[in-house]
Amino acid sequence: MSKTVLITGASTGIGRETAKYFQQKGWNVAATMRSPEKEKELIKLQNVICPKLDVTNEKSIALAIESTIEKFGTIDVIVNNAGYSLTGVFEAATTDQLQRQYDVNVFGVMNVVRAILPYFREKKSGTIVNVSSIGGKMTLPLFSMYQSTKWAISGFSEALQFELRPLNIKVKIIEPGAVVTDFYDRSMTHTKKEGLTDYNEYIKKIHVVNDKFVSKGNHPDKTANVIYKAATSNNWKLYYPSGGDAKAYLTLRKLQPVSWFNSVIRMIYK
Ligand SMILES: NC(=O)c1ccc[n+]([C@@H]2O[C@H](COP(=O)([O-])OP(=O)(O)OC[C@H]3O[C@@H](n4cnc5c(N)ncnc54)[C@H](OP(=O)(O)O)[C@@H]3O)[C@@H](O)[C@H]2O)c1
């Protein structure tokens, strides 16, 4: 029987490419999304369904899991990909913006994991692939809110693997560098506070460097390939950096003192 993957946030970017990648490899794919009624392409592919799933809505998660098992008879891999960035200076963030950022990027992942675990536990197998970021182990200016959610995801996943390993359930953490998707425009939300101007020059300077960083980003099919490798690996390896930038930054971060590493980041943004 073909294997089945359920992916969150498959309407665009990394999630969408991952759905196509698994489909091309012969998998059954539940390419879940918030607005499946808008989907024109994925839904036409063989062995692909597009259940409605909002990671902040537990009922929609349960229904998507149920309809996927009903259609394909199984779920073998879950890819927690849905996420977005609240970007800018922290002081300007509203409580609602912060709540929403954590609701989607952290509690959204936890909601999906908690929903699939009874099934994986009964099946005595399964793989959970959580899309974190290089920003799950290092940080960049103006990303304090987003990157703290990714540190949470990496920490959550790393601790979770202890209790799931005896049950034969694998956990994988993907750490992409810059990837050219809707992430940096349509999906991104920004902090802004009336009358708060002291950061303006700093923000301008950071944006110039960030734009360069993004323009050199990878195509999402590279990340899809790494997700596929992680999902199909037979070993218990936890971390999967994706892209040359991710590998370089994360190696430096591991080998050098944090103060040295952050002085390099400051130099890059000068
Ligand atoms: N792009 C990068 O440079 C980069 C680097 C490192 C990590 N990542 C991570 O990669 C993942 C995918 O991002 P991307 O680059 O592919 O960006 P993207 O093209 O903006 O895709 C984000 C996806 O998340 C979905 N989403 C947002 N809120 C959701 C919710 N409440 N429930 C379900 N789906 C929701 C979006 O759906 P809608 O279409 O409905 O908005 C969209 O499908 C994210 O977790 C991101 O943090 C990205």
Task: Please write the tens of the pLDDT for every residue from 144-179.
Answer: 999 999 999 999 999 999 999 999 999 999 999 999
Q: Which atom of ligand 1 is nearest to the CA of 9?
A: 43
Distance 259 CA to ligand 1 centre (A): 31
Q: Which atom of ligand 1 is nearest to the CA of 146?
A: 47
| pLDDT value of position 215 | 92
Instruction: Record the pTM.
Output: 0.98
Average pLDDT of the residues of the chain = 97
Indicate whether residue 138 lines ligand 1 (CB < 6 A). Answer: no
Torsion of the alpha carbons at 76, 78, 79 and 80, rounded to the nearest 10: -170
Q: Is 178 in the pocket of ligand 1 (CB under 6 A)?
A: yes
The percentage of residues in the chain with a pLDDT greater than 90, rounded to a whole number, is: 99
Q: What is the pLDDT of residues 179-198, one digit of tens each?
A: 999 999 999 999 999 999 99
Confidence at residue 270, expressed as pLDDT on a 0 to 100 scale: 86
Whether pLDDT at 228 is above 90: yes
pLDDT tens per residue, range 36-59: 999 999 999 999 999 999 999 999
The predicted-structure confidence for 235-252, as pLDDT tens digits, reads as follows 999 999 999 999 999 999
Q: Is 187 in the pocket of ligand 1 (CB under 6 A)?
A: yes
**Long-range contacts of residues 111-116, Cβ cutoff 8 Å, at least 24 apart:** 111/55, 111/56, 111/58, 111/61, 112/8, 112/55, 112/61, 112/78, 112/80, 113/78, 113/80, 113/160, 115/58, 115/61, 115/62, 115/65, 116/6, 116/65, 116/75, 116/78
What pLDDT score was predicted for residue 63? 98
Catalytic positions, written as ranges? 132, 146, 150
pLDDT of residue 1: 77
Question: Relative to the CA of 188, which ligand 1 atom is closest?
Answer: 20
Average pLDDT over residues 87-91: 98
Does ligand 1 come within 6 angstroms of the Cβ of 181?
yes
Return left, alpha or beta for 13; rule: phi > 0 is left, psi -120 to 50 is alpha, else beta: left
User: Measured in whole angstroms, how far is the alpha carbon of residue 248 from the centre of its chain?
Assistant: 20
Ligand 1 site-directed mutation target among 107, 150, 181, 223, most atoms within 8 Å of CB: 181
In the block, residue with structure tokens 């539940």: 30
Determine the residue type at 84. Answer: Y
Q: Is 243 in the pocket of ligand 1 (CB under 6 A)?
A: no
Residue 34 confidence class, pLDDT cut points 50, 70, 90: very high
Question: Over pLDDT 70: what percentage of the chain?
Answer: 100
Residue 8 tokens, joined: 């969150």
| Residue 176 Cα: closest atom of ligand 1 | 6
Is residue 51 within 6 Å of ligand 1 at its C-beta? Answer: no
Q: What domains are there in the chain, each with its CATH number?
A: 4-268 (3.40.50.720)
